[in-house]
């Protein structure tokens, strides 16, 4: 099991070396730190790509790691599906219940509320916001990306259709096959694929 850590901009700027030390104490062999400004987070993407089944994802806090509630749900589902342990130091959270024996259910509810409060009805997560691009090709690619990310995060086909606006399951399957996403059930036949492509 590898311990892989992530620190967002806020903690690096405010706490500096103390934040790094906390991650080292919790056994982080690899640490990703955001250095830029804005909503793009290349180190977060690298952190997610580094994680593998059986690893431990170490965060300083949920509030520091996630922009909004949907970011958190994506991450938790991804970790649950791939067997990745989550440790959040400031929140006293360990999904294997080995650390923080004093932590209680109320602590978990509090951290969820903190992340949820960062989202309001006028905001969208990064992928949703990008769907409003004025360029057709950009919108199409962003829509494909949202389908793939939601599927990998464990959302059901119905939820993906509701979120992305696709009305046919065959469109979703076509996108997943196009990008060689491994399906959890038998893939469509060539004939079915041909029909799906013809409809689009």
DSSP states of 84-109: -EEEETTTTEETTS-S-TT--HHHHH
Asked whether residue 143 is assigned to any structural domain, the reply reads yes
Together in a domain, 7 and 68 = yes
pLDDT band at 88 (very low <50, low <70, confident <90, very high): very high
Token pair in block for residue 26: 């919790």
Together in a domain, 87 and 8 = yes
Asked whether residue 121 is assigned to any structural domain, the reply reads no
The CA distance from 33 to 46, in Å, is 10
pLDDT band at 136 (very low <50, low <70, confident <90, very high): low
Number of domains forming the structure of the chain = 2
pLDDT in tens, 33-56: 888 666 678 898 899 989 999 999
Question: Which of 116, 134, 155 finishes a domain?
Answer: 116
| pLDDT greater at residue 131 or residue 20 | 20
pLDDT in tens, 161-174: 988 888 888 888 88
| pLDDT greater at residue 14 or residue 194 | 14
- Residue 110's domain comprises 3-116
Together in a domain, 157 and 105 = no
- Quickly count: other Cβ atoms within 10 Å of residue 74's Cβ: 20
Question: Which of 116, 148, 167 finishes a domain?
Answer: 116
């Amino acid at each position: 099991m590898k311990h892989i850590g992530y620190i967002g901009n806020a903690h690096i700027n405010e706490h500096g070396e103390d934040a790094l030390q906390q991650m080292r104490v919790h056994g982080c062999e690899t640490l990703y730190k955001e250095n830029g400004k804005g909503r793009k987070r290349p180190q977060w993407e690298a952190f997610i790509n580094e994680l593998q089944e059986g690893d431990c994802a170490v965060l300083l806090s949920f509030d520091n790691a996630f922009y909004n509630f949907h970011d958190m749900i994506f991450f938790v589902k991804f970790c649950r599906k791939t067997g990745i342990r989550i440790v959040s130091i400031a929140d006293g959270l360990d999904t294997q219940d080995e650390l923080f024996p004093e932590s209680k259910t109320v602590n978990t509810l509090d951290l969820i509320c903190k992340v949820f409060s960062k989202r309001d009805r006028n905001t969208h997560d990064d992928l949703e916001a990008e769907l409003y691009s004025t360029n057709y090709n950009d919108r199409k690619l962003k829509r494909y990306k949202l389908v793939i990310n939601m599927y990998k995060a464990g959302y059901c086909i119905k939820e993906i259709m509701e979120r992305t606006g696709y009305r046919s399951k065959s469109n979703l399957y076509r996108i997943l096959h196009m990008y060689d996403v491994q399906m959890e059930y038998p893939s469509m036949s060539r004939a079915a694929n041909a029909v799906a492509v013809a409809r689009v």
